[in-house]
Amino acid sequence: MSKTRRYEIPLNRVEGDLEVRVDVDEGVVTDAWSSGTMFRGFENLLLGRQALDSLVVTPRICGVCSTTHLLAAAKALDMVSGVQPPPNAVRLRNIALMAETLQSDLRHSVLFFLPDLAASAYRRHPLFDEAVRRFEPAKGETWVEAIIETKKILEIVAIIAGQWPHSSFIVPGGVAYSPHPTELLQCRYILRRVREWYEKRILGCSIDRWREVRSAAHLDAWLEERADHRESALGFFLDFGRRIGLDETGRGHDSFLSFGSLELPEGTDVAGPGESTRLIPAGYFDGATTHAFDQSLISEDVSFSLAADYETGLHPVEGVTAPVTGDSGTRYSWVKAPRYDGRPAETGPLAEALVGGDPLLRDLVARNGASTLVRQLARLTRPATMMPAIEAWIAEIPASSNGDTYVPYGTLEEGSGHGVIQAARGALGHWVTVRDGVITHYQVITPSAWNGSPRDGAGVRGPWEEALVGTVIADPDDPVEAGHVIRSFDPCLVCAVHAIDRRRENT
Amino acid sequence: MSLLSAETPNLVQLLDSAGLELLWHPSLSNLAPVHRLRLFERLAAGEEPLDILVIEGSILHGADDSGSFDAYMGRPKRDWVRELAERAGYVVAAGTCAAYGGFGHQAPTRAGGLQWDRTEPGGLLGAAFRSAAGLPVINLAGCPCHHDVITGTLLALTSGLPLPLDEFNRPAHWYGVMVHQGCTRNEYHEYRVEESDFGQKGCLFFHMGCHGPLVGGPCNKLLWNQRSSKTRVGVPCFGCTHPGFPASHPFFATRNIEGIPLELPMGVDRAHYLAYKGMAAAAAPARLKDRITEI
Nearby residues of A272 by Cβ (< 8 Å), 6 or more positions away: A262, A264, A278, A279, A280, A281, A356
Please tell me the distance in Å from B78's CA to the nearest CA on chain A: 12
As a whole number of angstroms, the distance between CA A413 and CA A433 comes to 10
How crowded is residue A185: how many other Cβ atoms within 10 Å of its Cβ? 14
Residue B236: the pLDDT is 98
Residue of A287, A295, A331 lying closest to A418 (CA atoms): A295
pLDDT tens string, chain A, 507 residues long: the values are: 446 777 666 555 444 467 788 888 888 999 998 887 667 678 888 999 999 999 999 999 887 789 999 999 999 999 999 999 999 999 999 999 999 999 999 999 999 899 999 999 999 999 999 999 999 988 999 999 999 999 999 999 999 999 999 999 999 999 999 999 999 999 999 999 999 999 999 999 999 999 999 999 999 999 999 999 999 999 999 999 999 999 999 999 999 999 999 999 999 999 999 989 999 999 999 999 999 999 999 999 988 887 765 666 788 888 755 676 666 677 878 788 999 999 999 999 999 999 999 999 999 999 999 999 999 999 999 999 999 999 999 999 999 999 999 999 999 999 999 999 999 999 999 999 999 999 999 999 999 899 999 999 999 999 999 999 999 988 877 888 988 999 999 987 544 432 222 222 232
As a whole number of angstroms, the distance between CA A323 and CA A502 comes to 9
A177 vs B27, B233, B253: nearest CB: B233
| pLDDT above 70 (res B3) | yes
Contact A52 B250 (CB under 8 A): yes
Please tell me the distance in Å from A25's CA to the nearest CA on chain B: 20
Percent helix, percent strand, percent coil in chain B, to nearest 5: 30, 15, 60
As a whole number of angstroms, the distance between CA B108 and CA B45 comes to 32
Contact B225 A154 (CB under 8 A): yes
Contact A162 B33 (CB under 8 A): no
Cα–Cα–Cα angle for B150, B153, B155, nearest 5°?
A: 110
Asked whether the beta carbons of A157 and A164 are under 8 A apart, the reply is yes
As a whole number of angstroms, the distance between CA A224 and CA A279 comes to 31
If you compute the radius of gyration of chain A from its CA atoms, what whole number of angstroms results?
A: 22
- H/E stretch holding B111 reads strand B111-112
Please tell me the distance in Å from B153's CA to the nearest CA on chain A: 19
Residue A23: the pLDDT is 87
Contact B226 A158 (CB under 8 A): yes
Assign B157 to helix, strand or coil: helix
Asked whether the beta carbons of A113 and A250 are under 8 A apart, the reply is no
Residue A309: the pLDDT is 53
B230 vs A116, A162, A405: nearest CB: A162
Chains A, B: CB contacts within 8 A come to: 204
A115 vs B30, B74, B246: nearest CB: B30
As a whole number of angstroms, the distance between CA A464 and CA A12 comes to 16
Contact B234 A161 (CB under 8 A): no
Residue of B273, B290, B294, B179 lying closest to B235 (CA atoms): B179
Residue A501: the pLDDT is 25
Beta-strand pair B90-94/B138-140: parallel
For B13, nearest residue in chain A (alpha carbons): A138
For A113, nearest residue in chain B (alpha carbons): B30
Tens of pLDDT, residues B79-131: 999 999 999 999 999 999 999 999 888 767 889 999 999 999 999 999 999 99
Q: Which residues of A touch B228 (CB under 8 A)?
A: 158-159, 162-163
Cα–Cα–Cα angle for A402, A407, A413, nearest 5°?
A: 160
For the beta sheet containing B52-56, the strands, ordered from the edge strand earlier in sequence to the opposite edge, are B52-56, B90-94, B138-140
Q: Which residues of B touch A157 (CB under 8 A)?
A: 225
Q: Which residues of A touch B62 (CB under 8 A)?
A: 39, 325
Beta-strand pair B90-94/B52-56: parallel
Please tell me the distance in Å from B227's CA to the nearest CA on chain A: 6
Residue A310: the pLDDT is 62
Same fold, B3-174 and B177-295: no
Which of B35, B97, B228 best probes binding to A when mutated, by most A CB atoms within 10 angstroms? Answer: B228
As a whole number of angstroms, the distance between CA B193 and CA B290 comes to 9
Residue A497: the pLDDT is 34
Q: Is the dihedral of CA B227, B230, B232, B238 positive or negative?
A: negative
As a whole number of angstroms, the distance between CA B116 and CA B244 comes to 11
Tens of pLDDT, residues B217-269: 999 999 999 999 999 999 999 999 999 999 999 999 999 988 889 999 999 99
The CATH classification number of A4-265+276-495 equals: 1.10.645.10
Residue of A361, A345, A374 lying closest to A485 (CA atoms): A374
The CA–CA distances, whole Å, from A394 to A176, A179, A326, B279 equal 17, 10, 53, 43
Which amino acid belongs to residue B57?
A: G
Q: Which residues of B touch A14 (CB under 8 A)?
A: 27
Asked whether the beta carbons of A18 and A452 are under 8 A apart, the reply is yes
Contact A162 B232 (CB under 8 A): yes
Tens of pLDDT, residues B139-189: 999 999 999 999 999 999 999 999 999 999 999 999 999 999 999 999 999
As a whole number of angstroms, the distance between CA A3 and CA B160 comes to 56
Tens of pLDDT, residues B18-68: 788 889 887 777 777 778 889 999 999 999 999 999 999 899 888 778 887
Architecture of domain B3-174: 3-Layer(aba) Sandwich (3.40)
As a whole number of angstroms, the distance between CA A488 and CA A482 comes to 10
Domain locations in chain B as residue ranges: 3-174, 177-295
Please tell me the distance in Å from B33's CA to the nearest CA on chain A: 6
Contact A37 B72 (CB under 8 A): yes
Q: Which residues of B touch A15 (CB under 8 A)?
A: 27
Q: Which residues of B touch A405 (CB under 8 A)?
A: 199
Contact A116 B4 (CB under 8 A): no
For A108, nearest residue in chain B (alpha carbons): B27
Does the B177-295 domain belong in CATH 3.40.50.720? no
Residue of B10, B56, B215, B29 lying closest to A63 (CA atoms): B56
Contact A38 B233 (CB under 8 A): no
Exposure of A458 by Cβ count < 10 A (0-12 exposed, 13-18 middle, 19+ buried)? exposed
ipTM over 0.90: yes
Residue A325: the pLDDT is 64
β-bridge mates for residue A263, sequence order: A278
Asked whether the beta carbons of A320 and A311 are under 8 A apart, the reply is yes
β-bridge mates for residue A32, sequence order: A22
Four-CA torsion A168, A170, A173, A174, nearest 10 degrees: 140
Contact B228 A45 (CB under 8 A): no
Domain locations in chain A as residue ranges: 4-265+276-495
Asked whether the beta carbons of A302 and A312 are under 8 A apart, the reply is yes
Q: Please give the model's pTM, rounded to 2 decimal places.
A: 0.95
* The total number of residues written for chain B in this structure: 295
Cα–Cα–Cα angle for B135, B136, B141, nearest 5°?
A: 120
Please tell me the distance in Å from A477's CA to the nearest CA on chain B: 6
Alpha helices in chain B (DSSP H): 11-17, 33-44, 77-87, 96-100, 147-159, 172-175, 186-190, 219-222, 270-283, 286-289
A138 vs B22, B32, B228: nearest CB: B22
